[in-house]
Structure 1
Amino acid sequence: MSADLALRALARLLPPRARARYREEWRTDASRARQLGLRSAGVVMGAALLVVTLDRDSPAHTGEPRGALARRLARRGSTLVAACAVVLIGTFFTAGIAPEPGAAPMAVLSALEAAGWIVPRLALALGALGLLLLVAGSSKALTSLGRAALAVAAVGPALIAVAVVAWPAGPDPEAVPGAAASGANPAFVAVVLGVGVAASVLGAFGVLAVVAGSGPLGLQPRRSAWRRRASVAPVGAVVALAVVVLGAIDTLVWNPLAKVPGLPLPVVYERMVSVDGFPLGYNVAVVLVWAVFWAGLALGVLALALSRRASWFTVRRIAIVMLVLVGGALFFRFFAGFGFGMSIADTFGTSGGDGSAVSAVLTLLGQLSLGAALVAFGWAPRVRARSVERAGA
């Protein structure tokens, strides 16, 4: 790697307002070193040292009020940990949702199996990154209380993870990567779990206190042009509507056929009514109400995003709301279709879980949507310098 390329890469690691100045200084120093017949490695080493030791919270370097770095790290770290928790909890409770034999081609089954292996491990990696950001935020907090709060916020989820992995009964190793039955003392593990939960709750309040803070937040009104909103909102609405339509069809048609292969749908429903006394009309109405409700919300968000006056509804905010809509719709689909699953199980002696390939895909999509919404919420854009000046005035 050339010295110039290394210096450019190191400059990218600096706060926004310091990048251009230090990059040009370093490149000038490297050029002079070459003219004098000296090696530029010393300049690169000095640049690397400055990257490590620079005051990254200085308003002169960031264009933000002092304390913003700890707030940003706390917000990003906590949302990464929360996203990890959402995905892992969802995986734990829905690990048994898999297509019935013959309900999908082998290629689809293999893809779902690979996704089921990758997603929880990716969630764990994001959770670990979130804990590192919380620790980094703790080191940058301006007060002792803030440092302690962020440290507790990092320790809590770590203790929960240790307790889950060490739990003597052993959770499903397919649902929680790395988990296995162990010989740990149940009482000790329960104490660790309790302390972890308590620390997580206290840490959540601590993160909120650090993010809100007592100093200037440097808030600024964010705006998105109508053209940008008009290019993003319809895509989100189409995805949300497609999820609702597919979810309704899957609940009413595809999943019953997958659970009872070989029987036509009318016969399946007829037996559910005659054998189990299944109130078909009522349960169909519940699914339709679910579909209309979430479709209406998606269309309402689209109408708001396309309003000329809603410039505050930025592209990022639209994406967050649409992701929450998709995740929320798929979460509540379980309750809308609960009656169908139970009646199929009682009538035909099957399990009450979903059995179609679409169900498996939608379940995974719902968890990822909620996790992505949390990550997008945590990654708020930086404030501009003029907002900092107003905040400190």
Structure 2
Amino acid sequence: MAARLLPDGRRERYREEWSADLRDAPAAGISSTQLVSGAFGVVLRTPRSAKAFGLTPSALAGRRLRWSVAWIAAATALALGSLFTRPFLAGGPIGGTPAVDLVVVALVGCVGLIWLAAATHGLLAASGPALRWGGTLCVAVVAVPALAVVAVAVMPMMMLGGMFAGVATFVFAWGLPADADPERRRTWPGLPARLGTRVTALVGALVVLGGAALAVAHILVWNPSAKVPGLTVPEIYAQMAARSEPAGDAVIWAVVWGATWVPLGLLFLATAIFGNRGPLRRLDARRVARAALVALIGIGFTQWVAGFSMGMSVADAFAVSGGDSALSGLLLTAAATVAGVIVALRVLPPASVAAAPSATG
């Protein structure tokens, strides 16, 4: 952890030194606790200026801003996971009570605010102390209500964009320009490419097509059955029609939503068969893995949009709740939450600065 908290250019050097020190400490009569505390002392004394990182102030602020976005995105994924799993678990995926969920989400979000404050502080490094610290505090304080407003807008945004999430992911995965330098593509943060492009693409196709099919089955079969136990699905649909709540439009809505994910799954399947050549040249293993994770987030967190009509029809026809009741909904939400945290903390952060700093100031 101490090594990870150091500037990128110094990290490997100190990691090697500290590992050797820990290995040789017993023979020298030095406790590992002393070495670890000394390592964190080095971390606290290490300069954090742009010069120490070998970057311009604006470049360093941009890196810190990306870390801020990453941690706030992780908090958002955890908050959505807690919200959607509350019908199944008291207090959501983190356990305990809703207050525990709120505390964990707030702590993760606060890390993002700290990075935001650090970015602001770095940009104002040339200013006087009053302006630098006052501006940093101002940005941190204003960010809290601003994020609250964004949080309130999340649900309407998901409602509007949930039906197009699959198409949007397909367009970005296929059409987003790739860096011309293959070495940069290999070292850019994200998932490792150990499986190779074709195997990764096959796994991605199974995730997207299987996830979409699971979500549609959840909306149309498993969730209605869980809400109205004792009746078969045809009997549920027949009673819905008899009570002026026909399922026809809701079925079409769910199937159309599921179909929007099929092009992305077929794109991955084509990559698995033909490799990333010709029109598929941008789909290397890392891009496929990242796009599959984004798709998993979209499927898990927007399936309620596709199932909203069916849920309301079942609720009105049988006087039950409109939320998820089948365990398939819990699985979809849990997968989306885990994928959201992975994308937030593995894909959104900036790449490491490869060059060691030229100065210590």
Question: Is the shorter-chain TM-score for this pair beyond 0.5, marking a shared fold?
Answer: yes
| Structure 1: 5+ residue stretches without partners | 1-8, 30-38, 99-108, 162-192, 198-218, 389-393
Residue type of the alignment partner of 1:268 = I
Matches within 5 A, 1:323-334: 323-334=293-304
Are 2:79 and 1:97 equivalent residues in the alignment? no
* TM-fit CA distance, 1:14: 3.3
* TM-fit CA distance, 1:136: 2.9
Cα distance in 2 between the residues matched to 1:133 and 1:14: 15
Cα distance in 2 between the residues matched to 1:110 and 1:27: 43
Are 2:72 and 1:127 equivalent residues in the alignment? no
Tell me if structure 1 keeps the 8 A contact 2:9–2:355: no
* TM-fit CA distance, 1:65: 4.8
* TM-fit CA distance, 1:26: 9.1
- Matched with 1:81 is 72
Residue type of the alignment partner of 1:223 = R
Residue type of the alignment partner of 2:43 = V
Tell me if structure 2 keeps the 8 A contact 1:75–1:378: yes
Residue type of the alignment partner of 1:282 = D
Are 2:220 and 1:228 equivalent residues in the alignment? no
* TM-fit CA distance, 1:257: 0.9
Cα distance in 2 between the residues matched to 1:52 and 1:276: 68
Aligned Cα root-mean-square deviation (Å): 4.6
Matches within 5 A, 1:182-197: none
Tell me if structure 1 keeps the 8 A contact 2:85–2:93: no
Residue type of the alignment partner of 1:345 = A
- Matched with 2:252 is 285
Counterpart of 1:252 (choices 213, 220, 232) is 220
Are 2:255 and 1:263 equivalent residues in the alignment? no
- Identity %, equivalent residues: 32
- Matched with 1:374 is 344
Larger radius of gyration: 1
Aligned length: 308
1:46–1:84 Cα change, 3 Å: closer
Query: 1:216-268 deviations in whole A, cap 9, x for unaligned?
Result: xxx98432479633343332332222221111111111111111111122111
Residue type of the alignment partner of 2:107 = A
Of structures 1 and 2, the one scoring higher in RCO (CA 8 A, sep 6+) is: 2
1:51–1:256 Cα change, 3 Å: closer
Tell me if structure 2 keeps the 8 A contact 1:97–1:355: yes
- Matched with 1:308 is 277
Partner of 2:260, secondary structure, is helix
Cα distance in 2 between the residues matched to 1:42 and 1:281: 69
Cα distance in 2 between the residues matched to 1:284 and 1:371: 31
Counterpart of 2:261 (choices 273, 294, 300) is 294
Are 2:242 and 1:274 equivalent residues in the alignment? yes
- Matched with 1:188 is none
| Structure 2: 5+ residue stretches without partners | 22-30, 153-178, 187-192
Deviates more, 1:117-126 or 1:341-350: 117-126
Are 2:47 and 1:55 equivalent residues in the alignment? yes
Deviates more, 1:152-161 or 1:252-261: 152-161
TM-score between the two structures when normalised by the length of structure 1 = 0.61
Cα distance in 2 between the residues matched to 1:238 and 1:121: 35
Partner of 1:351, secondary structure, is coil
Tell me if structure 1 keeps the 8 A contact 2:73–2:344: yes
Residue type of the alignment partner of 2:252 = A
Residue type of the alignment partner of 2:61 = A
Residue type of the alignment partner of 2:185 = R
Cα distance in 1 between the residues matched to 2:333 and 2:306: 14
1:289–1:28 Cα change, 3 Å: closer
Residue type of the alignment partner of 2:351 = P
1:367–1:374 Cα change, 3 Å: same
* TM-fit CA distance, 1:382: 1.9
Tell me if structure 2 keeps the 8 A contact 1:276–1:343: no
Residue type of the alignment partner of 2:311 = G
* TM-fit CA distance, 1:346: 1.8
Residue type of the alignment partner of 1:334 = W
Cα distance in 1 between the residues matched to 2:92 and 2:331: 7
Query: 1:143-179 deviations in whole A, cap 9, x for unaligned?
Result: 5599877654532354579xxxxxxxxxxxxxxxxxx
- Matched with 1:17 is 9
Tell me if structure 1 keeps the 8 A contact 2:85–2:330: no
